[in-house]
């Protein structure tokens, strides 16, 4: 079943407790801070019903129409279909959004792959995993991921300080487990549910821990409180901040104040080995749509930089073209890793098809680690006027209008209004509070850089280089006996 945008909005009017800027939000679908991003997600739902978009956004399963983006991948074409669906969606809304469900649902597929291991450790919850994967697909659920805790004093174990600094099970009941603690999560306040999982190391060297828990939490459940950061939407006019006004994905500190999670929504509990296994494979699918978003961000950098260079004729200079080529190499590096990850896709332990792991993770490192420098190059190409141009109102008011039209009009092709729009877009992409937030988000949303490198190390097959050098250097077989 494919939901409509209005059905999605109606599902959010469940009395959930949301706070922003000290204000209790009564309706997240109409509040100034949330309405634009809720509308962006609702648009994804509505596109699945429109004749022009339905063939791209959906597929048929046993007579039911389901989302292409939520389909567990079993063949290469499924990944190409997801790419086309996301391309169709982002081009329709005219921007880049990350946490709209397809990027986080892959974590559930990682759980599916781990059923065998999880059942060996604790067989109580194996059936819950497959049931929830089917439910997300068949009921078209907006599913996000609850990842990092406030953590508190990291020099201490959780149990040696306020225990709520990390999410833990406070009590067991016949109905389920009672959660306490908090998690930071993007989009939680306007999502249906979140996959909650622990932070590695929360249990030290223990085999069993109440901090080792993985489960589904409904975002409107009693005891769930959403404490949101200030939104960028509404701070300025849409004409001056065309990205922030439409695509700010609001981040939330989700507090779990004695939240009941039914046993049927629990995936693993207490066994630290199960938690460590899941954390180690968490992004084997979701890193693909995450990295794919950065490809579209790279396109924005190239487009903004090249339009700015062309309007003044600087695109003809060799030095400018070299910087544009740097942006293109960055963009094509991401593109190449994604294409190769599909072309060399690997069968997962659960029978799904996962992108080639070391290629995918290397692509994520390339995309995330180089983004700050690419933004700097784009900023250089756009020039200093992105930080000194008056706002849109000045271009329409008598008095400043005639002067701004005089000094911002370049020629018959570039009138003042188009130039102002381009500079406003580039400012919001590169210089605004929103731009800084997005840059930080990319660096941490799927763990920090050292975790990205660790994923590459763990996924790469070192046997080829080792064997090549062993033979080339004429090493004896004794050297292999020393390897761990």
* pLDDT tens column, 333-373: 999 999 999 999 999 999 999 999 999 999 999 999 999 99
Whichever domain contains 427, its CATH number is 1.20.140.10
Say if 473 falls within a structural domain: no
**What is the C-alpha to C-alpha distance for residues 238 and 159, in angstroms, rounded to an integer?**
47
Region 22-35: mean pLDDT is 98
Whichever domain contains 233, its CATH number is 2.40.110.10
How high is the pLDDT of residue 120? Answer: 87
How high is the pLDDT of residue 153? Answer: 84
263 and 318 share a domain? no
314 and 396 share a domain? yes
Give the pTM.
0.96
311 and 444 share a domain? yes
How high is the pLDDT of residue 130? Answer: 92
Residues 6+ positions from 50 with CB-CB distance below 8 Å? none
258 and 373 share a domain? no
Q: State the pLDDT confidence band at 159, using cuts at 50, 70 and 90.
A: confident
Does the pLDDT of residue 203 top 80, yes or no? Answer: no
Identify the residue with better confidence: 203 or 249: 249
232 and 299 share a domain? no
39 and 66 share a domain? yes
Last residue of a domain, one of 256, 281, 306: 281
**What is the C-alpha to C-alpha distance for residues 284 and 268, in angstroms, rounded to an integer?**
19
42 and 156 share a domain? yes
Lowest mean pLDDT among 59-63, 130-134, 213-217, 269-273: 269-273
Average model confidence (pLDDT) for the chain? 96
How high is the pLDDT of residue 196? Answer: 96
340 and 211 share a domain? no
From the CB of residue 123, how many other CB atoms can be counted at a distance below 10 Å? 9
Say if 277 falls within a structural domain: yes
**Domain residues for 376?**
287-464
264 and 377 share a domain? no
Say if 472 falls within a structural domain: no
Last residue of a domain, one of 247, 281, 315: 281
Q: State the pLDDT confidence band at 201, using cuts at 50, 70 and 90.
A: low
Say if 394 falls within a structural domain: yes
373-388 per-position pLDDT tens digit: 999 999 999 999 999 9
Say if 483 falls within a structural domain: no
How high is the pLDDT of residue 444? Answer: 95
**What is the C-alpha to C-alpha distance for residues 124 and 266, in angstroms, rounded to an integer?**
9
Characterize the bridge pairing of strands 17-20 and 224-228. parallel
Dihedral (CA of 37, 42, 48, 49) sign: negative
**What is the C-alpha to C-alpha distance for residues 282 and 108, in angstroms, rounded to an integer?**
8
Tell me if 346 sits within 8 A of 357, measured CB to CB. Answer: yes
Say if 456 falls within a structural domain: yes
Say if 381 falls within a structural domain: yes
Last residue of a domain, one of 245, 265, 281: 281
236 and 303 share a domain? no
How high is the pLDDT of residue 316? Answer: 96
Q: State the pLDDT confidence band at 483, using cuts at 50, 70 and 90.
A: low
Question: How many domains would you assign to the chain?
Answer: 2
**What is the C-alpha to C-alpha distance for residues 133 and 123, in angstroms, rounded to an integer?**
18
Say if 470 falls within a structural domain: no
From the CB of residue 366, how many other CB atoms can be counted at a distance below 10 Å? 18
63 and 144 share a domain? yes
257 and 144 share a domain? yes
Does the pLDDT of residue 252 top 80, yes or no? Answer: yes
68-106 per-position pLDDT tens digit: 999 999 999 999 999 999 999 999 999 999 999 999 999
Does the pLDDT of residue 202 top 60, yes or no? Answer: no
417-433 per-position pLDDT tens digit: 999 999 999 999 999 99
């Amino acid at each position: 079943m494919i939901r409509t945008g209005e059905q999605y909005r109606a599902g959010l009017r469940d009395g959930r407790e949301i706070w922003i800027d000290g204000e209790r939000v009564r309706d997240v679908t109409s509040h100034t801070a949330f309405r634009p991003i809720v509308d962006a997600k609702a648009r994804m739902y509505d596109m699945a019903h429109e004749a022009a978009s339905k063939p791209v956004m959906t597929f048929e399963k046993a007579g039911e129409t389901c989302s292409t983006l939520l389909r567990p991948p079993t063949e290469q074409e499924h990944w190409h279909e997801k790419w086309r669906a996301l391309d169709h969606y982002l081009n329709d809304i005219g921007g880049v959004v990350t946490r709209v469900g397809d990027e986080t649902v892959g974590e559930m597929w990682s759980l599916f792959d781990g059923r065998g291991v999880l059942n060996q450790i604790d067989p109580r919850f194996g059936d819950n995993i497959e049931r929830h994967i089917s439910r997300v697909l068949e009921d078209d659920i907006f599913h996000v991921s609850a990842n990092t805790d406030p953590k508190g004093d990291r020099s201490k174990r959780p149990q040696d300080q306020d225990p709520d600094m990390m999410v833990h099970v406070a009590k067991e009941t016949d109905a389920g487990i009672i959660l306490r603690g908090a998690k930071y999560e993007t989009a939680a306040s306007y999502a249906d549910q979140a996959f909650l999982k622990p932070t590695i190391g929360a249990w030290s060297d223990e085999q069993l821990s109440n901090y080792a828990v993985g489960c589904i939490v409904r975002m409107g459940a009693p005891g769930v409180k959403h404490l949101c950061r200030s939104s960028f939407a509404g701070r300025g006019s849409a004409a001056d901040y065309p990205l922030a006004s439409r695509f700010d994905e609001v981040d939330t500190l989700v507090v779990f104040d004695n939240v009941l999670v039914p046993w049927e929504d629990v995936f693993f509990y207490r066994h630290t080995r199960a938690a460590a296994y899941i954390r180690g494979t968490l992004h084997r699918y979701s890193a693909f749509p995450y990295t794919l978003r950065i490809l579209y961000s790279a396109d924005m950098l190239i487009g903004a930089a090249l339009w700015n260079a062309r309007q003044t004729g600087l695109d003809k200079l060799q030095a400018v073209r070299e910087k544009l080529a740097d942006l293109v190499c960055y963009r094509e590096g991401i593109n190449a890793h994604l294409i190769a990850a599909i072309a060399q896709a690997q069968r997962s332990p659960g029978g799904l098809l996962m992108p080639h792991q070391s290629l995918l993770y290397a692509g994520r490192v390339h995309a995330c680690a180089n983004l700050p420098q690419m933004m700097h190059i784009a900023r250089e190409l756009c020039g200093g006027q992105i930080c000194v141009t008056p706002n849109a109102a000045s271009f329409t008011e008598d008095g400043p209008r005639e002067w701004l039209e005089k000094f911002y009009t370049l020629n018959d092709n570039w009138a003042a209004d188009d130039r102002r729009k381009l500079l406003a877009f580039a400012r919001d992409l590169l210089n605004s509070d929103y731009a800084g937030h997005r840059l930080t988000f990319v660096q941490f949303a799927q763990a920090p850089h050292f975790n990205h490198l660790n994923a590459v190390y763990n996924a790469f097959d070192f046997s080829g280089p080792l064997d090549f050098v062993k033979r080339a250097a004429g090493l004896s077989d004794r050297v292999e006996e020393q390897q761990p």
